[in-house]
Amino acid sequence: MKIISGKPKNISPKNDPIQASEKLYKAVEESIKTLAQLFDTPEYQTATKEGIWWTQLFGKAARRLSRLLDEPRLEYVWAIAYDIHVWGFHEAKYSTEDVRGDLDHAKWLLSYVKEILSKNKKP
């Protein structure tokens, strides 16, 4: 199981909102992958079989995990991350302030995943 190694403080829009947008998105992406693997979701199984995580698999996994864990913020944070990925990274339309406003969501998710992992450690 891949453990999330990124620290929330590494996601910073100080100088480059494009780079920060991509870091935020990648942190959320890795968080969803980690939870999907832990709970062996159908999306994880598909990604493993096909050798790639398609964007729709992330959305479906976020929704499934949100229901499974009774945590609606999972789906919400994915939606924010995808928005940042499109408009902050690909289209470069978001400013430093736009990205900074969403950092707390990614930080929460990283913390939440670490908490879930610590509760589900195998002996």
CATH number corresponding to 18-117: 1.20.120.330
Give the position of tokens 């493993």. 48
Spans of all domains in the chain: 18-117
Q: Helix, strand, coil shares of the chain as percentages rounded to 5?
A: 70, 0, 30
pTM value?
0.85
Q: What are the structure tokens assigned to 109, written together?
A: 């998710």
Burial class (CB in 10 A: 0-12, 13-18, 19+), 109: buried
Give the per-residue pLDDT at 7. Answer: 45
Dump pLDDT digits (tens) for 47-105. Answer: 999 999 999 999 999 999 999 999 999 999 999 999 999 998 888 899 888 888 899 99
66: left (phi over 0), alpha (psi -120 to 50) or beta: alpha
